[in-house]
Amino acid sequence: MSLRRPSAPMAPAFMVSAPGKVIVFGEHSVVYGKAAIAAAIALRSYLHVTTLSKSKHTVSLRFPDIDLTHTWDIDNLPWAAFHHPDKKKSYYSLVTELDNDLLAALQPHIDEVSPDRPEEIRKVHRSSATAFLYLFLSLGSPRFPGCLYTLRSTIPISAGLGSSASISVCLAASLLLQLRTLSGPHPDQPSEEARIQIERINRWAFVSEMCIHGNPSGVDNTVACQGKAVVFQRTDYSKPPSVRPLWDFPELPLLLVDTKQAKSTAHEVAKVGKLNKTHPKLVGTILDAMHNVTEAASELIEDKSFDPKEEESLRKVGELMTINHGLLNSLGVSHPRLERVRELVDHEGIGWTKLTGAGGGGCSITLLKPDVPKEKLATLESRFEAEGYQKFGTTLGGDGVGVLWPAVLKNGLDEDDEGGMEIDVDLFLNAKGTEGVEQLVGVHGDGGEREGWKFWRVESE
Ligand SMILES: Nc1ncnc2c1ncn2[C@@H]1O[C@H](COP(=O)(O)OP(=O)(O)O)[C@@H](O)[C@H]1O
Ligand SMILES: C[C@@](O)(CCOP(=O)(O)O)CC(=O)O
Protein backbone atom coordinates (compact mmCIF):
# COMPACT_ATOMS: atom_id res chain seq x y z
CA MET A 1 0.00 0.00 0.00
CA SER A 2 1.27 3.45 -0.87
CA LEU A 3 2.61 5.60 1.95
CA ARG A 4 1.74 8.69 -0.05
CA ARG A 5 -0.63 10.87 1.96
CA PRO A 6 -3.52 12.49 0.18
CA SER A 7 -3.23 16.24 -0.34
CA ALA A 8 -3.77 18.26 2.82
CA PRO A 9 -7.35 19.18 3.69
CA MET A 10 -8.32 22.55 2.30
CA ALA A 11 -5.71 22.37 -0.45
CA PRO A 12 -6.39 25.40 -2.66
CA ALA A 13 -9.06 25.21 -5.32
CA PHE A 14 -7.54 24.63 -8.74
CA MET A 15 -8.67 24.22 -12.34
CA VAL A 16 -7.75 22.13 -15.35
CA SER A 17 -8.78 22.64 -18.95
CA ALA A 18 -8.57 20.64 -22.18
CA PRO A 19 -9.58 21.41 -25.78
CA GLY A 20 -12.01 19.78 -28.16
CA LYS A 21 -10.81 18.65 -31.57
CA VAL A 22 -11.67 18.22 -35.20
CA ILE A 23 -10.75 15.09 -37.07
CA VAL A 24 -9.55 16.37 -40.43
CA PHE A 25 -9.08 12.87 -41.91
CA GLY A 26 -9.70 9.29 -40.76
CA GLU A 27 -12.64 9.14 -38.31
CA HIS A 28 -14.06 5.62 -37.94
CA SER A 29 -11.20 3.99 -39.89
CA VAL A 30 -8.97 5.05 -36.96
CA VAL A 31 -10.96 2.63 -34.74
CA TYR A 32 -9.67 -0.16 -37.05
CA GLY A 33 -6.01 0.72 -36.68
CA LYS A 34 -5.80 3.13 -39.62
CA ALA A 35 -4.16 6.57 -39.48
CA ALA A 36 -6.08 9.77 -38.69
CA ILE A 37 -5.19 13.47 -38.66
CA ALA A 38 -6.75 15.53 -35.88
CA ALA A 39 -6.22 19.02 -34.49
CA ALA A 40 -7.13 20.76 -31.25
CA ILE A 41 -9.68 23.59 -31.45
CA ALA A 42 -10.13 26.71 -29.33
CA LEU A 43 -13.34 25.43 -27.67
CA ARG A 44 -12.49 23.88 -24.27
CA SER A 45 -13.75 22.24 -21.08
CA TYR A 46 -12.92 23.72 -17.68
CA LEU A 47 -12.98 21.70 -14.46
CA HIS A 48 -12.85 23.43 -11.06
CA VAL A 49 -11.81 21.31 -8.06
CA THR A 50 -12.49 22.32 -4.45
CA THR A 51 -11.22 20.29 -1.51
CA LEU A 52 -13.73 20.11 1.34
CA SER A 53 -13.00 20.42 5.06
CA LYS A 54 -12.01 17.19 6.83
CA SER A 55 -15.48 16.75 8.35
CA LYS A 56 -17.10 16.26 4.90
CA HIS A 57 -16.02 12.97 3.41
CA THR A 58 -18.08 13.17 0.23
CA VAL A 59 -17.35 13.56 -3.45
CA SER A 60 -19.71 15.66 -5.55
CA LEU A 61 -20.13 16.29 -9.25
CA ARG A 62 -21.69 19.49 -10.50
CA PHE A 63 -21.94 19.27 -14.29
CA PRO A 64 -24.47 22.00 -15.21
CA ASP A 65 -24.07 21.54 -19.00
CA ILE A 66 -25.90 18.23 -18.68
CA ASP A 67 -27.86 19.27 -15.59
CA LEU A 68 -26.16 16.68 -13.36
CA THR A 69 -25.56 17.11 -9.63
CA HIS A 70 -24.70 14.14 -7.47
CA THR A 71 -22.91 13.38 -4.21
CA TRP A 72 -21.45 10.08 -3.04
CA ASP A 73 -20.21 9.24 0.42
CA ILE A 74 -16.56 8.28 -0.11
CA ASP A 75 -16.67 5.63 2.63
CA ASN A 76 -19.55 3.82 0.89
CA LEU A 77 -17.85 3.41 -2.47
CA PRO A 78 -16.70 -0.10 -3.56
CA TRP A 79 -13.02 0.32 -2.65
CA ALA A 80 -12.57 -3.37 -1.85
CA ALA A 81 -13.41 -4.36 -5.43
CA PHE A 82 -11.07 -1.78 -6.98
CA HIS A 83 -8.25 -2.45 -4.49
CA HIS A 84 -8.34 -6.24 -4.76
CA PRO A 85 -4.74 -7.31 -5.53
CA ASP A 86 -5.83 -8.78 -8.90
CA LYS A 87 -7.51 -5.55 -9.90
CA LYS A 88 -5.52 -2.71 -8.36
CA LYS A 89 -3.98 -0.35 -10.88
CA SER A 90 -1.28 2.24 -10.48
CA TYR A 91 -1.29 5.80 -11.75
CA TYR A 92 1.08 4.76 -14.55
CA SER A 93 -0.77 1.55 -15.57
CA LEU A 94 -1.80 1.13 -19.20
CA VAL A 95 -5.45 0.07 -19.03
CA THR A 96 -6.85 -0.94 -22.41
CA GLU A 97 -10.11 -2.62 -21.35
CA LEU A 98 -12.75 -1.91 -18.77
CA ASP A 99 -13.12 -4.61 -16.11
CA ASN A 100 -16.66 -6.03 -16.00
CA ASP A 101 -16.37 -6.93 -12.28
CA LEU A 102 -15.45 -3.34 -11.48
CA LEU A 103 -18.26 -1.99 -13.65
CA ALA A 104 -20.65 -4.31 -11.79
CA ALA A 105 -19.34 -3.06 -8.43
CA LEU A 106 -19.98 0.52 -9.58
CA GLN A 107 -23.50 -0.20 -10.84
CA PRO A 108 -25.46 0.44 -7.60
CA HIS A 109 -23.68 3.79 -7.22
CA ILE A 110 -24.47 4.72 -10.82
CA ASP A 111 -28.10 3.61 -10.44
CA GLU A 112 -28.61 6.15 -7.65
CA VAL A 113 -27.81 9.04 -10.04
CA SER A 114 -30.82 11.11 -11.24
CA PRO A 115 -33.41 8.36 -10.63
CA ASP A 116 -36.37 10.56 -11.51
CA ARG A 117 -35.12 11.93 -14.83
CA PRO A 118 -36.21 10.63 -18.26
CA GLU A 119 -34.19 7.72 -19.61
CA GLU A 120 -32.36 9.69 -22.36
CA ILE A 121 -31.07 12.16 -19.75
CA ARG A 122 -30.16 9.39 -17.31
CA LYS A 123 -28.10 7.77 -20.06
CA VAL A 124 -25.97 10.90 -20.43
CA HIS A 125 -25.68 11.26 -16.63
CA ARG A 126 -24.71 7.62 -16.26
CA SER A 127 -21.91 7.93 -18.85
CA SER A 128 -20.32 10.93 -17.16
CA ALA A 129 -20.79 9.53 -13.64
CA THR A 130 -19.32 6.14 -14.64
CA ALA A 131 -16.30 7.83 -16.22
CA PHE A 132 -15.68 9.84 -13.06
CA LEU A 133 -16.21 7.00 -10.57
CA TYR A 134 -14.14 4.47 -12.54
CA LEU A 135 -11.20 6.88 -12.48
CA PHE A 136 -11.79 8.00 -8.89
CA LEU A 137 -11.84 4.43 -7.59
CA SER A 138 -8.97 3.23 -9.79
CA LEU A 139 -6.68 6.08 -8.81
CA GLY A 140 -7.93 7.20 -5.37
CA SER A 141 -8.25 5.58 -1.98
CA PRO A 142 -10.70 5.71 0.96
CA ARG A 143 -8.37 8.35 2.44
CA PHE A 144 -8.95 10.71 -0.48
CA PRO A 145 -10.21 14.08 0.80
CA GLY A 146 -13.81 15.15 0.20
CA CYS A 147 -14.02 17.15 -3.04
CA LEU A 148 -16.34 19.06 -5.31
CA TYR A 149 -15.78 18.76 -9.07
CA THR A 150 -17.51 21.48 -11.10
CA LEU A 151 -17.32 21.26 -14.86
CA ARG A 152 -18.29 23.65 -17.63
CA SER A 153 -17.51 23.30 -21.28
CA THR A 154 -17.69 25.56 -24.31
CA ILE A 155 -17.72 22.52 -26.63
CA PRO A 156 -21.15 21.52 -27.97
CA ILE A 157 -21.97 18.06 -26.60
CA SER A 158 -22.30 15.10 -28.97
CA ALA A 159 -21.52 17.25 -31.99
CA GLY A 160 -18.38 15.41 -33.11
CA LEU A 161 -15.97 17.91 -31.55
CA GLY A 162 -14.64 15.61 -28.84
CA SER A 163 -16.55 16.90 -25.81
CA SER A 164 -16.26 13.54 -24.07
CA ALA A 165 -12.50 13.32 -24.62
CA SER A 166 -12.05 16.86 -23.38
CA ILE A 167 -13.90 16.19 -20.10
CA SER A 168 -12.06 12.84 -19.80
CA VAL A 169 -8.72 14.62 -19.96
CA CYS A 170 -9.88 17.13 -17.33
CA LEU A 171 -11.02 14.37 -14.96
CA ALA A 172 -7.85 12.31 -15.39
CA ALA A 173 -5.54 15.32 -15.02
CA SER A 174 -7.30 16.63 -11.91
CA LEU A 175 -7.16 13.28 -10.08
CA LEU A 176 -3.52 12.68 -11.01
CA LEU A 177 -2.65 16.21 -9.85
CA GLN A 178 -4.48 15.66 -6.55
CA LEU A 179 -2.48 12.47 -6.04
CA ARG A 180 0.70 14.42 -6.75
CA THR A 181 1.71 11.99 -9.43
CA LEU A 182 2.45 14.67 -12.02
CA SER A 183 5.37 17.02 -12.11
CA GLY A 184 4.81 20.52 -13.46
CA PRO A 185 3.64 21.95 -15.64
CA HIS A 186 6.32 24.59 -15.41
CA PRO A 187 7.91 26.78 -18.07
CA ASP A 188 11.41 25.28 -17.96
CA GLN A 189 10.28 21.67 -17.91
CA PRO A 190 12.30 19.51 -20.32
CA SER A 191 10.23 18.36 -23.27
CA GLU A 192 10.72 14.65 -22.48
CA GLU A 193 9.49 15.11 -18.89
CA ALA A 194 6.45 17.01 -20.17
CA ARG A 195 5.76 14.18 -22.62
CA ILE A 196 5.70 11.62 -19.78
CA GLN A 197 3.15 13.67 -17.81
CA ILE A 198 0.93 14.00 -20.87
CA GLU A 199 1.20 10.28 -21.58
CA ARG A 200 0.19 9.53 -17.97
CA ILE A 201 -2.92 11.73 -18.22
CA ASN A 202 -3.75 10.34 -21.66
CA ARG A 203 -3.76 6.72 -20.42
CA TRP A 204 -6.44 7.48 -17.84
CA ALA A 205 -8.37 9.80 -20.15
CA PHE A 206 -8.65 6.81 -22.51
CA VAL A 207 -10.19 4.76 -19.67
CA SER A 208 -12.77 7.50 -19.13
CA GLU A 209 -13.47 7.56 -22.89
CA MET A 210 -14.08 3.80 -22.77
CA CYS A 211 -16.68 4.42 -20.04
CA ILE A 212 -18.42 7.06 -22.17
CA HIS A 213 -18.39 5.47 -25.60
CA GLY A 214 -17.35 1.88 -25.48
CA ASN A 215 -14.74 1.42 -28.20
CA PRO A 216 -12.72 4.62 -28.64
CA SER A 217 -9.63 4.75 -30.83
CA GLY A 218 -7.93 7.19 -28.47
CA VAL A 219 -7.37 9.89 -31.08
CA ASP A 220 -9.70 12.40 -29.39
CA ASN A 221 -8.16 12.14 -25.92
CA THR A 222 -4.64 12.22 -27.40
CA VAL A 223 -5.29 15.53 -29.15
CA ALA A 224 -7.14 16.91 -26.11
CA CYS A 225 -4.04 16.07 -24.02
CA GLN A 226 -1.25 17.32 -26.18
CA GLY A 227 -3.00 19.91 -28.31
CA LYS A 228 -1.65 21.06 -31.71
CA ALA A 229 -2.25 18.61 -34.58
CA VAL A 230 -1.21 14.96 -34.86
CA VAL A 231 -1.14 11.95 -37.12
CA PHE A 232 -2.48 9.19 -34.88
CA GLN A 233 -2.52 5.43 -35.37
CA ARG A 234 -3.21 2.57 -32.98
CA THR A 235 -2.49 -0.78 -34.59
CA ASP A 236 -2.18 -2.76 -31.35
CA TYR A 237 -4.64 -1.87 -28.59
CA SER A 238 -2.43 -3.44 -25.92
CA LYS A 239 0.26 -0.84 -26.66
CA PRO A 240 0.28 2.96 -26.65
CA PRO A 241 -0.64 4.45 -30.05
CA SER A 242 1.81 6.01 -32.47
CA VAL A 243 1.41 9.77 -32.31
CA ARG A 244 3.29 12.01 -34.72
CA PRO A 245 2.90 15.73 -34.05
CA LEU A 246 2.46 17.92 -37.12
CA TRP A 247 4.47 20.87 -35.84
CA ASP A 248 3.88 23.06 -38.87
CA PHE A 249 0.20 22.30 -39.29
CA PRO A 250 -0.97 24.95 -41.76
CA GLU A 251 -3.59 27.54 -40.93
CA LEU A 252 -6.28 26.01 -43.09
CA PRO A 253 -9.23 28.28 -43.86
CA LEU A 254 -11.93 26.07 -42.31
CA LEU A 255 -15.62 26.64 -41.78
CA LEU A 256 -17.04 24.53 -38.96
CA VAL A 257 -20.80 23.93 -39.08
CA ASP A 258 -22.92 22.24 -36.42
CA THR A 259 -26.00 20.51 -37.88
CA LYS A 260 -27.59 20.71 -34.41
CA GLN A 261 -28.54 17.09 -34.95
CA ALA A 262 -27.22 15.35 -31.83
CA LYS A 263 -25.67 11.94 -32.37
CA SER A 264 -24.15 9.26 -30.23
CA THR A 265 -20.56 8.27 -30.97
CA ALA A 266 -21.15 4.87 -29.37
CA HIS A 267 -24.10 4.28 -31.72
CA GLU A 268 -22.27 5.34 -34.91
CA VAL A 269 -19.16 3.31 -34.03
CA ALA A 270 -21.33 0.26 -33.29
CA LYS A 271 -23.15 0.74 -36.63
CA VAL A 272 -19.87 0.57 -38.56
CA GLY A 273 -18.86 -2.44 -36.44
CA LYS A 274 -22.03 -4.25 -37.50
CA LEU A 275 -21.52 -3.40 -41.18
CA ASN A 276 -17.97 -4.66 -40.92
CA LYS A 277 -19.19 -7.97 -39.48
CA THR A 278 -21.73 -8.41 -42.27
CA HIS A 279 -19.47 -7.33 -45.18
CA PRO A 280 -15.90 -7.74 -43.87
CA LYS A 281 -14.15 -7.73 -47.26
CA LEU A 282 -15.97 -4.71 -48.65
CA VAL A 283 -15.75 -2.67 -45.47
CA GLY A 284 -12.08 -3.67 -45.15
CA THR A 285 -11.45 -2.18 -48.59
CA ILE A 286 -13.20 1.05 -47.63
CA LEU A 287 -11.20 1.32 -44.40
CA ASP A 288 -7.96 0.75 -46.33
CA ALA A 289 -8.97 3.46 -48.80
CA MET A 290 -9.56 5.83 -45.87
CA HIS A 291 -6.08 5.05 -44.58
CA ASN A 292 -4.63 5.89 -48.00
CA VAL A 293 -6.53 9.19 -48.02
CA THR A 294 -5.05 10.14 -44.62
CA GLU A 295 -1.55 9.18 -45.74
CA ALA A 296 -1.90 11.19 -48.94
CA ALA A 297 -3.17 14.19 -46.94
CA SER A 298 -0.31 14.09 -44.43
CA GLU A 299 2.22 13.88 -47.29
CA LEU A 300 0.62 16.89 -48.96
CA ILE A 301 0.38 18.99 -45.81
CA GLU A 302 3.95 18.20 -44.75
CA ASP A 303 5.40 18.90 -48.18
CA LYS A 304 7.54 22.04 -48.24
CA SER A 305 5.69 23.32 -51.30
CA PHE A 306 2.29 23.26 -49.53
CA ASP A 307 0.87 26.77 -49.31
CA PRO A 308 -2.46 27.18 -47.49
CA LYS A 309 -3.07 30.45 -49.32
CA GLU A 310 -2.73 28.95 -52.75
CA GLU A 311 -5.68 27.39 -54.62
CA GLU A 312 -3.78 24.43 -56.08
CA SER A 313 -2.53 23.28 -52.64
CA LEU A 314 -5.96 23.67 -51.10
CA ARG A 315 -7.69 21.94 -54.00
CA LYS A 316 -5.62 18.78 -53.50
CA VAL A 317 -6.43 18.63 -49.77
CA GLY A 318 -10.05 19.53 -50.54
CA GLU A 319 -10.39 16.67 -53.01
CA LEU A 320 -9.12 14.29 -50.38
CA MET A 321 -11.74 15.64 -47.97
CA THR A 322 -14.44 15.02 -50.58
CA ILE A 323 -13.20 11.44 -51.07
CA ASN A 324 -13.03 10.85 -47.30
CA HIS A 325 -16.58 12.07 -46.90
CA GLY A 326 -17.78 9.82 -49.73
CA LEU A 327 -16.19 6.81 -48.04
CA LEU A 328 -17.76 7.75 -44.67
CA ASN A 329 -21.11 8.12 -46.41
CA SER A 330 -20.73 4.63 -47.86
CA LEU A 331 -20.32 3.32 -44.30
CA GLY A 332 -23.69 4.87 -43.46
CA VAL A 333 -22.50 7.51 -41.00
CA SER A 334 -23.58 10.66 -42.84
CA HIS A 335 -26.96 12.28 -42.24
CA PRO A 336 -29.35 14.29 -44.45
CA ARG A 337 -28.46 17.44 -42.47
CA LEU A 338 -24.76 16.86 -43.25
CA GLU A 339 -25.53 16.22 -46.92
CA ARG A 340 -27.47 19.48 -46.96
CA VAL A 341 -24.37 21.40 -45.81
CA ARG A 342 -22.46 19.87 -48.69
CA GLU A 343 -25.22 20.75 -51.09
CA LEU A 344 -25.26 24.39 -49.96
CA VAL A 345 -21.47 24.78 -50.08
CA ASP A 346 -21.22 23.01 -53.45
CA HIS A 347 -24.00 25.20 -54.83
CA GLU A 348 -21.91 28.30 -54.08
CA GLY A 349 -18.80 26.46 -55.34
CA ILE A 350 -16.63 27.82 -52.58
CA GLY A 351 -15.00 24.80 -50.93
CA TRP A 352 -14.82 21.12 -50.03
CA THR A 353 -16.87 19.58 -47.21
CA LYS A 354 -16.72 16.48 -45.07
CA LEU A 355 -18.33 15.35 -41.84
CA THR A 356 -16.05 15.39 -38.81
CA GLY A 357 -16.23 13.08 -35.79
CA ALA A 358 -18.64 10.21 -35.58
CA GLY A 359 -21.24 11.57 -38.06
CA GLY A 360 -24.92 10.66 -37.90
CA GLY A 361 -25.41 14.40 -37.27
CA GLY A 362 -22.87 16.53 -35.44
CA CYS A 363 -20.49 18.79 -37.35
CA SER A 364 -19.00 19.23 -40.79
CA ILE A 365 -15.85 21.03 -41.87
CA THR A 366 -15.50 22.95 -45.11
CA LEU A 367 -12.12 23.88 -46.51
CA LEU A 368 -12.69 27.25 -48.15
CA LYS A 369 -11.13 28.24 -51.44
CA PRO A 370 -8.87 31.30 -51.26
CA ASP A 371 -10.48 34.67 -51.95
CA VAL A 372 -14.07 33.49 -51.65
CA PRO A 373 -16.26 36.51 -52.54
CA LYS A 374 -17.75 38.01 -49.38
CA GLU A 375 -21.26 37.99 -50.91
CA LYS A 376 -21.12 34.24 -51.52
CA LEU A 377 -20.04 33.58 -47.96
CA ALA A 378 -22.79 35.88 -46.68
CA THR A 379 -25.44 34.08 -48.79
CA LEU A 380 -24.24 30.75 -47.44
CA GLU A 381 -24.22 31.95 -43.85
CA SER A 382 -27.74 33.31 -44.06
CA ARG A 383 -28.95 29.98 -45.51
CA PHE A 384 -27.28 28.14 -42.63
CA GLU A 385 -28.97 30.41 -40.16
CA ALA A 386 -32.38 30.06 -41.81
CA GLU A 387 -32.09 26.27 -41.74
CA GLY A 388 -31.03 26.07 -38.09
CA TYR A 389 -27.31 25.38 -38.51
CA GLN A 390 -24.68 26.99 -36.27
CA LYS A 391 -21.43 28.26 -37.69
CA PHE A 392 -18.27 28.33 -35.56
CA GLY A 393 -15.19 30.36 -36.09
CA THR A 394 -12.29 28.49 -34.53
CA THR A 395 -8.56 28.19 -34.85
CA LEU A 396 -6.82 24.83 -35.13
CA GLY A 397 -3.76 23.56 -33.32
CA GLY A 398 -4.05 25.25 -29.90
CA ASP A 399 -2.75 24.14 -26.51
CA GLY A 400 -3.58 20.80 -24.90
CA VAL A 401 -4.28 20.17 -21.21
CA GLY A 402 -3.66 23.18 -18.97
CA VAL A 403 -3.55 23.75 -15.21
CA LEU A 404 -4.46 26.79 -13.12
CA TRP A 405 -3.06 26.11 -9.64
CA PRO A 406 -4.31 27.75 -7.49
CA ALA A 407 -7.55 28.96 -9.12
CA VAL A 408 -6.49 32.60 -9.19
CA LEU A 409 -6.45 34.75 -12.32
CA LYS A 410 -5.53 38.25 -13.30
CA ASN A 411 -8.55 39.77 -14.99
CA GLY A 412 -7.54 43.39 -15.32
CA LEU A 413 -9.60 44.24 -12.21
CA ASP A 414 -8.67 45.78 -8.83
CA GLU A 415 -7.98 42.33 -7.37
CA ASP A 416 -4.98 42.02 -9.68
CA ASP A 417 -3.02 44.27 -7.27
CA GLU A 418 -3.55 41.71 -4.52
CA GLY A 419 -2.34 38.83 -6.69
CA GLY A 420 -5.45 38.25 -8.77
CA MET A 421 -9.06 37.17 -8.58
CA GLU A 422 -9.83 33.97 -6.72
CA ILE A 423 -12.16 31.81 -8.81
CA ASP A 424 -14.57 30.11 -6.43
CA VAL A 425 -17.32 27.66 -7.37
CA ASP A 426 -20.11 30.24 -7.30
CA LEU A 427 -18.25 32.66 -9.53
CA PHE A 428 -17.56 29.82 -11.96
CA LEU A 429 -21.13 28.53 -11.90
CA ASN A 430 -22.58 32.02 -12.34
CA ALA A 431 -20.54 32.90 -15.44
CA LYS A 432 -23.11 33.52 -18.22
CA GLY A 433 -23.01 31.02 -21.04
CA THR A 434 -19.91 29.89 -22.88
CA GLU A 435 -18.77 33.49 -23.41
CA GLY A 436 -18.97 34.15 -19.69
CA VAL A 437 -16.89 31.04 -18.98
CA GLU A 438 -14.27 32.13 -21.51
CA GLN A 439 -14.19 35.65 -20.08
CA LEU A 440 -13.89 34.46 -16.49
CA VAL A 441 -11.44 31.57 -16.76
CA GLY A 442 -10.56 31.10 -20.46
CA VAL A 443 -6.99 30.01 -21.17
CA HIS A 444 -6.82 32.84 -23.65
CA GLY A 445 -7.43 36.43 -22.69
CA ASP A 446 -8.06 39.01 -25.36
CA GLY A 447 -4.59 38.73 -26.78
CA GLY A 448 -2.85 35.37 -26.53
CA GLU A 449 -2.22 33.38 -23.42
CA ARG A 450 -3.47 34.41 -20.01
CA GLU A 451 -1.15 34.60 -17.05
CA GLY A 452 -1.79 31.76 -14.61
CA TRP A 453 -2.64 28.88 -16.94
CA LYS A 454 0.28 26.53 -17.50
CA PHE A 455 0.75 23.77 -20.08
CA TRP A 456 2.98 20.75 -20.50
CA ARG A 457 4.85 21.64 -23.68
CA VAL A 458 6.29 18.95 -25.89
CA GLU A 459 8.03 21.29 -28.27
CA SER A 460 9.02 20.87 -31.88
CA GLU A 461 11.76 18.57 -33.17
N1 LIG B 1 -19.87 19.44 -20.59
C2 LIG B 1 -20.11 18.18 -20.23
N3 LIG B 1 -20.52 17.89 -18.98
C4 LIG B 1 -20.73 16.60 -18.61
N5 LIG B 1 -20.62 15.54 -19.42
C6 LIG B 1 -20.22 15.78 -20.69
C7 LIG B 1 -19.93 17.10 -21.15
N8 LIG B 1 -19.53 17.03 -22.42
C9 LIG B 1 -19.58 15.70 -22.77
N10 LIG B 1 -19.99 14.95 -21.75
C11 LIG B 1 -20.16 13.47 -21.76
O12 LIG B 1 -19.75 13.01 -23.05
C13 LIG B 1 -20.87 12.45 -23.76
C14 LIG B 1 -20.81 12.87 -25.24
O15 LIG B 1 -19.83 12.12 -25.88
P16 LIG B 1 -19.86 11.76 -27.43
O17 LIG B 1 -21.18 11.14 -27.79
O18 LIG B 1 -18.61 11.03 -27.71
O19 LIG B 1 -19.87 13.15 -28.15
P20 LIG B 1 -18.68 14.11 -28.60
O21 LIG B 1 -18.62 13.94 -30.08
O22 LIG B 1 -19.11 15.48 -28.23
O23 LIG B 1 -17.46 13.66 -27.87
C24 LIG B 1 -22.10 12.98 -23.07
O25 LIG B 1 -23.18 12.06 -23.19
C26 LIG B 1 -21.63 13.10 -21.61
O27 LIG B 1 -21.69 11.83 -20.98
C1 LIG C 1 -15.75 7.93 -34.88
C2 LIG C 1 -14.47 8.23 -34.11
O3 LIG C 1 -13.35 7.98 -34.98
C4 LIG C 1 -14.39 9.72 -33.70
C5 LIG C 1 -15.50 10.15 -32.79
O6 LIG C 1 -15.40 11.53 -32.46
P7 LIG C 1 -16.60 12.27 -31.66
O8 LIG C 1 -16.89 11.46 -30.42
O9 LIG C 1 -17.76 12.32 -32.58
O10 LIG C 1 -16.06 13.64 -31.31
C11 LIG C 1 -14.40 7.29 -32.90
C12 LIG C 1 -13.03 7.21 -32.23
O13 LIG C 1 -12.00 7.55 -32.86
O14 LIG C 1 -13.00 6.78 -31.08
Per-residue model confidence (pLDDT) at position 4:
53
- Number of separate domains in the chain: 2
In this structure, the strands spanning 58-63 and 147-153 are parallel
- Are 224 and 264 found together in one domain? no
- Are 138 and 265 found together in one domain? no
Q: For position 151, which CATH number holds?
A: 3.30.230.10
Q: How far is the CA of 406 from the centre of ligand 2 (A)?
A: 33
Ligand 2: which of 24, 27, 290, 327 to mutate, judged by most atoms within 8 Å of the beta carbon?
27
Q: What is the DSSP string of 188-257?
A: T--HHHHHHHHHHHHHHHHHHHHHHHSS--SHHHHHHHH-SEEEEE-S-TTSPPEEEE-TT-----EEEE
- Are 129 and 239 found together in one domain? yes
**Nearest to residue 163, comparing CAs of 65, 86, 87?**
65
The answer as to whether 2 is a domain residue is no
Domain containing residue 140? 11-243+399-455
- Are 233 and 262 found together in one domain? no
Q: 45: helix, coil or strand?
A: strand
Per-residue model confidence (pLDDT) at position 50:
97
CA 391 from centre of chain:
19
ipTM higher than the 0.95 cut: yes
Q: What share of the chain is helix, strand, coil (3-state, %, to 5)?
A: 45, 20, 40
Domain end call among 396, 418, 437: 396
Closest ligand to Cα 125? 1
- Are 371 and 421 found together in one domain? no
Per-residue model confidence (pLDDT) at position 460:
59
Per-residue model confidence (pLDDT) at position 2:
47
- Residue 50 neighbours by CB under 8 Å, 6+ apart: 13, 147, 148, 150, 424, 425
- Are 273 and 386 found together in one domain? yes
What number of other Cβ atoms are within 10 A of residue 123's Cβ?
A: 12
Q: How far is the CA of 220 from the centre of ligand 2 (A)?
A: 7
49 sits in which H/E element:
strand 36-51
Q: How far is the CA of 28 from the centre of ligand 2 (A)?
A: 7
Q: What is the DSSP string of 69-95?
A: EEEEEGGGS-HHHHHSTTT---TT---
d(CA 19, CA 134) in angstroms, rounded, equals 22
The answer as to whether 450 is a domain residue is yes
**Computed from CA positions of residues 222, 215, 175, 420, in that sequence, does the dihedral angle turn out positive or negative?**
positive
Side-chain-side CA neighbours of 148 within 13 Å: the count stands at 15
Under-70 pLDDT residues of the chain: 1-10, 445-449, 460-461
Q: 379: helix, coil or strand?
A: helix
Per-residue model confidence (pLDDT) at position 447:
55
The answer as to whether 5 is a domain residue is no
Q: Which amino acids bring their CB within 6 angstroms of ligand 1?
A: 63, 65-66, 124, 127-128, 151, 153, 157-164, 167, 212-213, 264-265, 357-358
Closest ligand to Cα 22? 2
The answer as to whether 3 is a domain residue is no
User: Is 101 part of the annotated catalytic residue set?
Assistant: no
What digits encode the pLDDT tens for the residues 387-425? 999 998 778 888 999 999 999 998 777 777 777 889 999
pTM of the full predicted structure?
A: 0.93
Per-residue model confidence (pLDDT) at position 283:
98
The answer as to whether 1 is a domain residue is no
Name the active-site residue from 65, 220, 258, 399: 220
